[in-house]
A = this chain, B = another copy of it.
Amino acid sequence: MARTVAVIGDRWTLMILRDCFLRVRRFEDFQARLGITRPLLASRLKKLVDASVLAKVPYQERPLRHEYRLTPRGLDLYPVVMAIVHWGDAHLAGRKGRPLIHTHDLCGKDFDPVMVCSQCAEPVLARQVHVRPGPGAAQPARLPAGTPARERTGVRARRAAS
């Protein structure tokens, strides 16, 4: 988690990624849509290129111009962006309703994203999930979800790996 939010955990970065999924690719277009300063936009785009989330691709030779395209790693962020958009639609949309409607080409219908379990395909609720340390855990101690908070402080060393 710490590594991931170091890549995407910034409001401008999330706004840029949202626009990438709306097929925005060029510096000037990001800037015009987001109202972000050029140095700030340049630094955020560079960070996303450095993290292999975006690729900088030439689209014109003279003068040389680049555009920013989602890599496969970047395309995998779609559930993150859609989950954020959907939460905003459900909880923060104004009186008039959601600003964008999404249509699924596969079935042709307007849809909302739903998070389901990869094993049983049922929707996943927070209260129906338990966790245990995986092979990449910083220490083998069990993280006992549901036990008193005092007993859980032993897991603090794991934060470096989560």
Contact = CB atoms under 8 A, between A and B. Distances in A.
Contact of A105 (B24, B128, B134): B128
A115 B114 contact: yes
Given A117-B113, A134-B98, A78 B14 contact: no
Contact of A78 (B85, B91, B115): B115
Contact of A1 (B9, B79, B88, B97): B88
Interface of A: 1-11, 14-15, 18, 21-26, 28-29, 32-35, 67, 70, 73, 75-80, 82-88, 90-94, 96-107, 109-122, 124-138, 143, 145-146, 149, 152-153, 155-156, 158-159, 161-162
Can you tell how many copies of this chain the complex includes?
Answer: 2
| 8 residue pairs, one from A and one from B, having the closest CB atoms | A9-B11, A107-B120, A4-B88, A97-B135, A109-B119, A79-B115, A79-B83, A5-B11
A81 to B, nearest CB: 8
Q: For chain A, what secondary structure do more than half of its interface residues adopt (helix, strand, loop), or is it mixed?
A: mixed
Contacts of A7: 92
Contacts of A162: 18, 99-100
B101 A134 contact: yes
